Structure 1
Amino acid sequence: MNTTILLFLLQDGITNGAIYALLGLGLVLVFAVTRIILIPQGEFITYGALTYATLCAGKMPGTARLAVVMGIVAFAFDLFAARRAPQARKIIRSLLVNVALPVAILGLTAFVAGHSGNLIVNFLLSLVIVAPIGLYLYRVAYQPIAHASVLVLLIASVGVHLAMQGLGLVFFGAEGMRAPAISELAFGLGPMRITGQNLAVYGIALALIVALWLFFGYTLYGKALRATAVNRLGARLVGIRTTLSGQAAFLLASVIGAVSGALIVPMTTIYYDSGFLIGLKGFVAAIIGGLGSYPVTAAAAIVVGIVEAMSSFYASDYKEVIVFTLIIPVLFVRSLSAPAVEEEKD
């Protein structure tokens, strides 16, 4: 290996690591607030990527219809929960959020699809389409069992992952898709070639990381989410709505996943099941970060990306094995140093 190849591998590793950092932060956020290991995070990547690619192809993405169906189911859940003590204000709010919002997004998507060649518009619309799916997913699949054990929540996540992966096959088919880059900018930096897509990945990843840091550190709602992460029961006792916190966590996770997918799809072909493997690498970073530390998770994600890039050069057939092996020594050390604790009872 010479210096030029090393620089190319480092560039590739940092680019992938920036994506894994976003995914790892989303996983840490959801687990900290809800105790849910969000295996379907990979499906948000797939949905965001393929929705963006479909819009760029001038077609109507099936995820817009999925959001409407899931919203109606979530509204039905709210009606059933309010059957004994119905409150008009809550029902109207649920109707607006769960039915009116996805229907409006569906109408906007139908208007834009095939009429807009603007990549930024398609990028933003793909986020708007996918984001509510996370909100409805929490209401339908997780909120009814929010107080169950971590193991039950993990089993539910596996089931949701399989269901969403199957829906991805239905909506997008088995053929892979790619999308045009957000920017055609390209310039040389020594032996390396920097593209606009690389800069978009770095810039958007950094902006989201800083935005999350500011949100959790300096806003009242962010501090409420942090309080829910520290002690769910204590948060409820001081008036924080933990249900709303879970919905916000899933909404942020779906946005992060959709952004990651839309950034990846111009650089590689994405299939209906591609997001699972990408999400697992973000999970490796989250595990190294202890499912609780945002800075360590971001740093670990960069390491994961670089290790993957180096492995693809030296042992391409085993690069996935090498990446996933990174968590074994981490788990071993944590098992020796972490004290035994009982799971919090709500």
Structure 2
Amino acid sequence: MIRPLLMCFALCVVYATSKPTEKKERTHHEAPLSSREHVDAEGFEYDHEAFLGKEQAKTFDDLTPEESKRRLGIIVGKIDGDADGFVTEAELKAWIKKAQKKYIYDNVDRQWKDFDMDNDGMISWEEYRNVTYGTYLDDPEPDDSYDYQRMMARDERRFKMADKNEDQIADKEEFTAFLHPEDYDHMKDIVVLETMEDIDKNGDGFIDLDEYIGDMYNHEDEMEEPEWVATEREQFSEFRDKNKDGKMDREETMDWILPSDYDHAEAEAKHLVYESDSDKDGKLTKEEILNKYDLFVGSQATDFGEALVRHDEF
């Protein structure tokens, strides 16, 4: 079975075990802290995933409020790096970034054993290619119309970019950069290039308004264009197309998908402090955090069940 590496909008990179679709093959935008909408009036799921990481957040969903608070108290001690009894925005930001990195590294670890065929602790381009495109290599002219040759060329180009010592072999960090290029400065050019290649349908090296909208919305699916599409048109004209020439070049595309002036972790840390800092001194005590435990971790259970024995660290 051919298992190409696909790029998706929300989770950076998805390892597929079946034939890919031609849509959304790329890393598109900096990875968000959560796949949820950040609307506190409708719930704190975004904050839970941002603060704990997606997998860890799930473990709190089935806990009683008492157990959630107990575990949160343990986490507060870990966040307070200088052990001064307060949690600052900087400490929260560092914790959130650590939680998100853990998700990435766990994702890489799950995939590692599939590609390290000789168990030497490294993954060569040959190993990756053979595992991912083995069926195609046996039959370079498959019955379907999917362009595996193009996809393999893209993967090889990205693999070479991640391979900093140019030995055609990836260690764990290089393979992480290959799978999650949006998190590495030296990989940002390839993220922009892949994005532009996928959206630039007329091949002129730019993204015009129709291509920009067409990447997000298929007008054939609905009779009337939804309101959010009109908003995106305004966004393109007012903010994306900075030099007002009717299209986005490489630099403008970079600003769109990998903005340098916005830090998701910093914004979330500020949000958590603002919502929890009852005495408005700019930092949080353990008591202030526990008083807003539903914002940080939440709890939905009415009984303990087996949820209390899930993680040794608690």
* TM-score relative to the length of structure 2: 0.30
User: Which structure has the bigger radius of gyration?
Assistant: 2
Higher RCO by CA contacts (8 Å cutoff, separation 6 or greater): 1
* TM-score relative to the length of structure 1: 0.28
More helix by share: 1
